[in-house]
């Protein structure tokens, strides 16, 4: 446990496009979308908080990890995630693009961050990180699926 700049960078890489999202909100958001059950929203937020803070708190542990296939897979997830964000912005920020499949993969903008944090847990061999990733996965995928099913 201990702070290290790499612990700040890893969650920031996933957060960057979301920060732009706050400034450049989607267009054509359907007004009829209903919220998911509150338990999934709570799980999503708890997962987000833990997935974004644990790397900061355990930055030194992350920094000493050797580069492995798992870290390369994290990078691949990040690249695909960014590609989805580019697709969203190039569409003129259409809300539906946030949920558009990427080939056969449904909800790629929900799946890639979940995979990223799950791979991080595997890479540093941490059950604590894995638990955070599972909570995030349950909440984020359920919330995203709820919206996806309403707009297709």
Q: Is residue 100 part of a domain?
A: yes
Q: With respect to residue 27, please indicate whether it lies within any of the assigned structural domains.
A: no
C-alpha atoms less than 13 angstroms from C-alpha of 105 in its C-beta half-sphere: 14
pLDDT tens for each residue of 58-101: 999 999 999 999 999 999 999 999 999 999 999 999 999 999 99
Secondary structure (3-state) at 27: strand
* DSSP class per residue in 35-99: PPPHHHHHHHHHHHHHHHHHHHHTHHHHHTSPP-HHHHHHHHHHHHHHHHHHHHHHTTSBGGGGS
pTM (2 d.p.): 0.95
Beta-bridge mates of residue 95: none
- Say if CB 1 and CB 124 are below 8 A apart: no
Report the alpha-carbon distance of residue 46 to residue 42 in Å, rounded: 6
Model confidence pLDDT, tens digit, residues 42-53: 999 999 999 999
Whether 116 is covered by a domain: the verdict is: yes
Domain that residue 146 falls in: 5-10+37-151
Look at the chain and report how many structural domains it folds into. 1
Q: Is the dihedral of CA 52, 72, 137, 82 positive or negative?
A: positive
Span 38-45, average pLDDT: 98
Is 41 a domain residue? Answer: yes
CA pair distance 117, 33, nearest whole angstrom: 28
Residue 131 lies in a domain: yes
């Amino acid at each position: 446990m201990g702070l290290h700049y790499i612990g700040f960078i890893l969650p920031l890489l996933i957060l960057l496009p979301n920060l732009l999202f706050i400034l450049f909100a989607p267009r054509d958001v359907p007004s009829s979308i209903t919220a998911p059950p509150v338990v999934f929203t709570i799980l999503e937020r708890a997962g987000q908080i833990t997935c974004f803070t644990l790397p900061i708190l355990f930055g030194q542990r992350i920094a000493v990890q050797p580069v492995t296939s798992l870290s390369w897979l994290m990078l691949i997830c990040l690249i695909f995630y960014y590609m989805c964000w580019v697709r969203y912005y190039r569409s003129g920020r259409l809300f539906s693009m946030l949920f558009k499949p990427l080939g056969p993969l449904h909800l790629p903008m929900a799946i890639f961050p979940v995979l990223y944090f799950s791979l991080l847990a595997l890479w540093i061999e941490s059950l604590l990180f894995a638990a955070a990733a599972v909570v995030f996965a349950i909440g984020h995928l359920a919330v995203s699926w709820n919206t996806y099913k309403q707009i297709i």
